[in-house]
Structure 1
Amino acid sequence: MSSEKDIDFVLRTVEERDIRFVRLWFTDVLGNLKSFAISPEELEEAFEEGIGFDGSSIDGFVSLEESDMLAFPDPDTFTLLPWRPTESGVARVFCDVYTPSREPFDGDPRNCLLKVFTKADKMGYIPNVGPKIEYFYSDSQHELRPKDDAGYFDLTPMDNANDLRRQTTLMLEKMSIPVQYSYHAAGPSQNGVELRFTEAVSCADNIVTARLVIKQLAAQQGMYASFMPKPVAGQPGSAMFLYQSLFSHEGENLFWAPKDYHVAHLSDLAQHYVAGILKYAPEFTLVTNPTVNSYKRFISTGEVPNYATWGRKNRSALVRIPAHKPGKHVSTRIELRSPDPTANPYLALAATIAAGLKGIEEKLPLPEESARDTFLLSQKELEAKGIRRLPRTLGEAIQNFEESELMREVLGDHIFDYLVQEKKHEWNDYCTAVTDWERKRYYGGF
């Protein structure tokens, strides 16, 4: 719970900075950002008693008969919105959603991650995550029209998004979200930003904020930023890489171990954690890759994971172990490469961290390291090695998710059942849609 000191600091800041509007932020189950504004006079009451709103209007929340919900602001997330006019200051604060009986709401994605974080905390671990988010710029909201032909890490006159990336970085840092680096990604008009690692709940808050800031600044320049995983066939897709590690309460990185008797500097704890992610990846893929389009990104190019494998230099592995500088034990981490930026970050982190913790509880052994040519093996050879393929379609992902006891336990019945129902509708709509590709291929034949 937040302390009175935190709340007093926020109330004092609102008065001193003449803040006229405070936006209360939260997401629906699918990860869409929701917001409503209150006056500064209402803020103290919001901290103490919550602010009521109609939960039946939010996708995945509650029915009309039980619509009353309460939003309780988290004072640790209070910050000014720097793109708003300074003469009538606007701030935002993330909220936790409660029922009228003051119980945490089971359909609140942030609460779902908080429960996983609390479990890890009781086990003696602080989950830390650093995200790297990729996206495309276009001058159209309806189709990708590339604005440059630059490639990975290019710095050329063709990269006309360079100034926009710099402005985005400065805006995020004004909101106390440190940026490790921003860059032009591999595809035309594709860009990326890597945020500094922080504890898991703050990381999810930062991802939600970064997605809005990226879109907001693009719109101010007459551009559109899209997080669609695979907007153009034949071009690279957009990922949301998640760099994960566990720290002790004393600030020690528990993933690091001396190389002379551990694999890739990974401690036994880290190896169990990775093994848990590999075991449960087919079950949580619906959460980390939640759209039909997500699976168009999973193609065998050697850069996108198709199998639940791990490796050090192998970027086709689901989990990669990045190298770190000698003596920089704090940077020992794993890179989860499958998620994409359409995922609800609260649920994606809850599901993947829970899978890692389950691997620790079950003391799962780390499988053999995967070579780069794994995807060239036959299905029978993969099965002989105990390697599981990730879902190839949203339909497969739904089936694996629906059969998962762990995902139901982690997400709770409310979110779990809603995701199954909603994604089955999406998959059915896709399967019954007739595309231009089909018309061009079959209309005049036979």
Structure 2
Amino acid sequence: MATAVTDSSTTVDLDVKRQEIVARAEATGLRLVRFLYCDNDGVIRGKSSAMSGLRDRLESGIGLTVAMQAFTMLDHLASVDGMGPVGEIRLVPDPTTFVVAPYAPHTGTVLVDMQTLDGNPYAADGRAFLKRMVARAAAQHDLALLAAFEPEWSLARKEGEQFVPIDDSGCFTTTGMNIAASVIDEIVAALEAQGMVVEQYYAELGWGQQELSIRYAPALQAADHHILYRETVRGVALNHGLYASFAPKPWADQAGNGCHLHFSGWNREQTLNRFYDATGEYNLSTLGRQFMAGILDHLPGLVALTCASVNSYRRLQPQMWASAYRAWGPDNREGALRAASPFKGHEAESVNVELKSSDSSANPYVSLGGVIAAGLDGIERKLTLAPAVTVDPHTLDESERKKIGADRLPESLEEAIQNLKRDETLLKAMGERLATSYIAVKELDIDAFAKADEAFEFRQHIYKY
């Protein structure tokens, strides 16, 4: 049966796309195609199809126990009604996401939607949540989010049971670039081979720390790209005998790894940046400011989605350039939201906002879906954005921060989850099934790490992410 998927500019015949995937897989000598998803704890998981039966599985999917969306990063099973040993869903590929994996021999990858046995979206699927938010923004507000995840990550060697940074070079130094040059070169080639456009690269502040950014894309594609990016970086690094870690704080004495989220709001045709106003403060439109105000309003609970691990809150500290306060400002890297300075002569296209309270332990679909839900609430309630902060908010006294609502962000995942449980807007947007399973997974993580020492926490996060 012919099926099609439509966005604002294109219609894709999925049957034709599936046929093209099979033909390409055969032509390139693939033996396995990985059906990948991201779970509620931000861990990328999946199953693989051999070439026999691939055509059918591209349409009907691969079976998966309903329990998997209740699994934690430690492979513990959270107690969630209906997410135990009985029941199945299907991992149904989105054919538009298929790529050949340059880092794995004879292997392709495709990203999936979780579906019930009768073909409906599975209510605990983060990708389905993001799709709903994208559709809501377009239908109700003529708004299409363009976004880019901007991850930092650390390259390490394993020595015995310890993960050790590959260097002790300085921030932006060519020494750091040269030490990592061979693996970075292969990563760039692998990303480009999968259709991702590399923008910038440099060695970051922490030992062994790298930052390599790719071009923005429509919201769903941006989240898809982040999954493929993480897989590519880790896969290429392993081929060099190295480990690439996206953990928020892989080592206690080194800079943390953020995954700053850049976004701008365009009309559905993506011809007009609706966050831009030439006469507005910092070139921000009223709509853009309302969207930002919504994010700041919900940020105490939203960080449970964007800074999603126990380890995240070691990074989210004052004066670490990681954003510890609910504040915003122009090019203020200590605020939770940064109004990025536009490029001269390209102001209308380049005005965008950066959420710094974000890291790669988050499921990017859940994270970006939550950001959109919060921003739309700001638009719908016509919220007023607090005054810009043009200094490090930590240097303000408590009374000054209170006047502008620049309170301290949660200092633990436990605190963030409690805030999320009180945020009816985010819970309603996520839906009962996703919200319940997500919170259950995080609360089991919180309990597990509370019973262990710091060494266990660092090791589990540096390896799992």
Could you tell me how far apart the structure 2 residues matched to 1:65 and 1:184 are?
45
- Contact kept, 8 Å, 1:255 with 1:333, in 2: the verdict is no
Find the residue that maps to 2:248 and give its secondary structure. Answer: coil
Q: Which amino acid aligns with 1:169?
A: V
Instruction: Give 1:312 deviation, angstroms.
Output: 0.8
Instruction: Give 1:289 deviation, angstroms.
Output: 1.0
- Contact kept, 8 Å, 1:148 with 1:158, in 2: the verdict is no
Find the residue that maps to 2:53 and give its secondary structure. Answer: helix
Could you tell me how far apart the structure 2 residues matched to 1:300 and 1:184 are?
23
Could you tell me how far apart the structure 2 residues matched to 1:311 and 1:244 are?
15
Could you tell me how far apart the structure 2 residues matched to 1:224 and 1:190 are?
12
Aligned position for 1:397:
416
Instruction: Give 1:144 deviation, angstroms.
Output: 4.0
CA shift digits 1:361-398 (9 cap, x unpaired)? 11111210012232123333322223232111122111
Pair 253,321 (structure 1): closer, same or farther in 2 beyond 3 Å? farther
Could you tell me how far apart the structure 1 residues matched to 2:135 and 2:145 are?
10
Find the residue that maps to 2:392 and give its secondary structure. Answer: helix
Q: Which amino acid aligns with 1:190?
A: Q
In the alignment, which of 324, 335, 338 is matched to residue 342 of structure 2?
324
* TM-score (ref. length: structure 2): 0.87
Q: Does 1:206 align with 2:231?
A: no
Pair 58,286 (structure 1): closer, same or farther in 2 beyond 3 Å? closer
Identity of aligned residues (%): 28
Could you tell me how far apart the structure 1 residues matched to 2:454 and 2:29 are?
53
Find the residue that maps to 1:402 and give its secondary structure. Answer: helix
Find the residue that maps to 1:232 and give its secondary structure. Answer: coil
Aligned position for 1:181:
200
CA shift digits 1:86-112 (9 cap, x unpaired)? xxx322111111111211101111111
Aligned position for 2:404:
385
Aligned position for 2:90:
70
Aligned position for 1:43:
54
Pair 57,231 (structure 1): closer, same or farther in 2 beyond 3 Å? closer
Instruction: Give 1:38 deviation, angstroms.
Output: 1.6
Aligned position for 2:329:
311
Instruction: Give 1:57 deviation, angstroms.
Output: 4.5
Could you tell me how far apart the structure 1 residues matched to 2:336 and 2:381 are?
20
Find the residue that maps to 1:9 and give its secondary structure. Answer: helix
Instruction: Give 1:307 deviation, angstroms.
Output: 1.2
CA shift digits 1:346-372 (9 cap, x unpaired)? 111111121111111111112100122
* Bigger RCO of structures 1 and 2 (CA < 8 A, at least 6 apart): 2
CA shift digits 1:196-229 (9 cap, x unpaired)? 1001111111111111111111111111111221
Pair 83,233 (structure 1): closer, same or farther in 2 beyond 3 Å? closer
Aligned positions, number: 433
Instruction: Give 1:256 deviation, angstroms.
Output: 4.5
- Contact kept, 8 Å, 1:46 with 1:71, in 2: the verdict is no
Instruction: Give 1:9 deviation, angstroms.
Output: 2.7
Aligned position for 1:126:
144
In the alignment, which of 350, 354, 364 is matched to residue 335 of structure 1?
354
Instruction: Give 1:334 deviation, angstroms.
Output: 0.4
Aligned position for 1:363:
382
Pair 50,304 (structure 1): closer, same or farther in 2 beyond 3 Å? closer
In the alignment, which of 125, 148, 151 is matched to residue 108 of structure 1?
125
Could you tell me how far apart the structure 2 residues matched to 1:383 and 1:214 are?
41
Could you tell me how far apart the structure 2 residues matched to 1:12 and 1:21 are?
14
Q: Which amino acid aligns with 1:26?
A: Y
Find the residue that maps to 1:321 and give its secondary structure. Answer: strand
- Contact kept, 8 Å, 1:257 with 1:266, in 2: the verdict is yes
Find the residue that maps to 1:52 and give its secondary structure. Answer: strand
- Contact kept, 8 Å, 2:324 with 2:408, in 1: the verdict is yes
Could you tell me how far apart the structure 2 residues matched to 1:433 and 1:92 are?
35
Q: Does 1:8 align with 2:26?
A: no
Instruction: Give 1:433 deviation, angstroms.
Output: 3.8
CA shift digits 1:380-436 (9 cap, x unpaired)? 332222323211112211111111102211221122112222222322333344568
Aligned position for 2:258:
239
Find the residue that maps to 2:385 and give its secondary structure. Answer: coil
Aligned position for 1:149:
168
Aligned position for 1:163:
182
In the alignment, which of 272, 277, 298 is matched to residue 316 of structure 2?
298
Q: CA RMSD in A?
A: 2.2
Aligned position for 2:114:
97
Q: Does 1:84 align with 2:104?
A: yes
Pair 380,227 (structure 1): closer, same or farther in 2 beyond 3 Å? same
* TM-score (ref. length: structure 1): 0.91
5+ residue gaps, structure 2: 6-12, 72-79, 456-465
Pair 368,74 (structure 1): closer, same or farther in 2 beyond 3 Å? same
Aligned position for 1:374:
393
- Contact kept, 8 Å, 1:180 with 1:195, in 2: the verdict is yes
Could you tell me how far apart the structure 1 residues matched to 2:176 and 2:245 are?
22
* Greater shift in the superposed pair: 355-364 or 59-68: 59-68
Could you tell me how far apart the structure 2 residues matched to 1:151 and 1:46 are?
48
Pair 232,119 (structure 1): closer, same or farther in 2 beyond 3 Å? same
Pair 139,247 (structure 1): closer, same or farther in 2 beyond 3 Å? same
* Greater shift in the superposed pair: 383-392 or 280-289: 383-392
Within 5 Å, give how 1:210-289 maps onto structure 2. 210-259=229-278, 261-289=279-307
Instruction: Give 1:258 deviation, angstroms.
Output: 4.1
Aligned position for 1:442:
none
